[in-house]
Amino acid sequence: MNKISKLLKNDNLDAWSSKLGTFQLGLPTQVKIQGSENKMGSVNPGVKALLHPARFKRILNVRDLKHVEKLPVGYQKFYKEWREREPEPVHWIPRQEKWERNAETGEVKPVQNIPIPTKYPHQVHDGLWGGEGVVQGLVKKAKYRSPVPRFWVPKLQESVVYSEILDKYMEIVVTERALRLIDENFGLDNYLLKTPACDIQSLTALKLKRRILLALANKDFSHGDVKRQEELYEKYKQYVVPREEAEWYGLSVKEAVARFNVLEKNAKAAEIKPLKYQLRLDLLQSLDQVTVTSAKEEKSSSWMSKLNPFSKPENAEKS
């Protein structure tokens, strides 16, 4: 476990974990569209491109959506940024034109920007990869040999990054692209706050961004130097979000569901009060009512005694 993982371990996220299981949904291995087959019975290459697995990104997360719909609006906003927003192309360059003409046949076809298949192993969440992943492809080693599968893994290295708002140095596994993006954004805080969740990918980096957003929302940084605190707040005030949104930012679906259940349970427990408190309140109210009634009776009796000519004065009774 690296140092940044130890730093985020104290964020009370372990208390929210629950045995919800993993959510997976497979796609059908064969998909046919009426009118898409040619005379030889094979599927048109253009239709194959349209059926690329990346097109079914929302369908893959349908199990998560059932839980997200019940969660607060703050988490729904983060989930859309994390899972439903289209990430920035990293391993390929999209073409801007919409149509292309075949130089030999003159046939005009629509340009289809198909992303390169990329895998994101669980090690991505332990570091800061800058949106990179493991690229899956084929390599043909010789002219008459069949292509074989190959995976291109980004070059990883340990480095130390500094958060200006948290005022901490952290050791973390990074890629060259991540370091370049941090330099281009003039620091780790600017990079995390500017970059959407779909491009960060790493849950460790998202939880670090969550801590930064909470620190900005609560002004919980640079306590010993008020001038420094005001300078940093003025520098990053464009990224300030309400505390309700910052608390839900950077959580996985399992963590968000667990946190929601804990909050709901605490709210119900707060509504339930022991019966002894209600009985004590009723007793005090009844005693107050008896005291007021007796005081009124004494006052009325003293007033009537003054008007009665046959009543004896109090001094005479005492003598």
More confidently predicted of 143 and 249: 249
Question: Would residue 33 count as lying in a domain?
Answer: no
Side chain identity at residue 199, one-letter code: D
Question: Would residue 192 count as lying in a domain?
Answer: yes
Side chain identity at residue 183, one-letter code: D
Host H or E run for residue 119: strand 118-119
Question: Would residue 75 count as lying in a domain?
Answer: yes
Please write down the HEC assignment for all residues of the chain: CCHHHHHHHCCCCHHHCCCCCCCCCCCCCCCCCCCCECCCCCECHHHHHHCCHHHHHHHHCHHHHHHHCCCCHHHHHHHHHHHHCCCCCCCCCCCCCCEEECCCCCCEEECCCCCCCEECCHHHHHEECCCCCEEEEEECCCCCCCCEEEEECCCEEEEEEEECCCCEEEEEEEEHHHHHHHHHCCCHHHHHHHCCHHHHCCHHHHHHHHHHHHHHHHCCCCCCCHHHHHHHHHHHHHHCCCHHHHHHCCCCHHHHHHHHHHHHHHHHHHHCCCHHHHHHHHHHHHHHHHHHHHHHHHHHHHHHHHHCCCCCCHHHHHC
In this structure, the dihedral spanned by the alpha carbons of residues 295, 297, 303 and 304, taken in order and rounded to 10 degrees, is -170
Question: Would residue 298 count as lying in a domain?
Answer: no
pLDDT in tens, 153-165: 999 999 999 999 9
pLDDT in tens, 195-210: 999 999 899 999 999 9
Q: How confident is the model at residue 293 (pLDDT cuts 50, 70, 90)?
A: confident
Cα–Cα distance measured from residue 159 to residue 182, given in angstroms and rounded to the nearest whole number = 12
Assess whether pLDDT exceeds 90 at residue 115. Answer: no
What is the DSSP annotation of 70-103? TS-HHHHHHHIIIIISPPPPSSS-----SEEE-T
**pLDDT (0 to 100) of residue 58:** 52
pLDDT in tens, 24-61: 333 333 333 333 333 333 444 444 445 545 455 555 56
Cα–Cα distance measured from residue 79 to residue 253, given in angstroms and rounded to the nearest whole number = 8
For residue 171, give Cα distances in angstroms to 2, 3, 86, 181: 7, 6, 30, 17
**pLDDT (0 to 100) of residue 258:** 95
Cα–Cα distance measured from residue 283 to residue 113, given in angstroms and rounded to the nearest whole number = 76
Buried-exposed string 133-167: b where 16+ CB fall within 10 A, e elsewhere: bbbeeeeeeeeeeeeeeeeeebeeeebebebbbbe
More confidently predicted of 285 and 8: 285
What is the mean predicted confidence (pLDDT) over 107-124? Answer: 90
Cα–Cα distance measured from residue 63 to residue 25, given in angstroms and rounded to the nearest whole number = 7
Q: Judge contact between 69 and 245, C-beta under 8 A.
A: no
Question: Would residue 283 count as lying in a domain?
Answer: no
Cα–Cα distance measured from residue 22 to residue 27, given in angstroms and rounded to the nearest whole number = 16
What is the extent of the structural domain holding 119? 3-23+61-271
Question: Mean pLDDT of all residues in the chain?
Answer: 80
**pLDDT (0 to 100) of residue 28:** 33
Nearest alpha carbon to residue 250 among 201, 289, 318: 201
Instruction: Say which range, 90-104, 138-152, 177-191, 265-279, has the weakest mean pLDDT.
Output: 265-279
pLDDT in tens, 60-110: 567 788 889 899 999 999 999 998 888 899 999 999 999 999 999 999 999
Question: Would residue 293 count as lying in a domain?
Answer: no
Assess whether pLDDT exceeds 50 at residue 173. Answer: yes
**pLDDT (0 to 100) of residue 72:** 93
Helix (H, G, I), strand (E, B), or coil: what is residue 240? coil
Question: Would residue 297 count as lying in a domain?
Answer: no
Question: Would residue 9 count as lying in a domain?
Answer: yes
Structure token pair of residue 318 = 């005492």
Number of structural domains found in the chain: 1
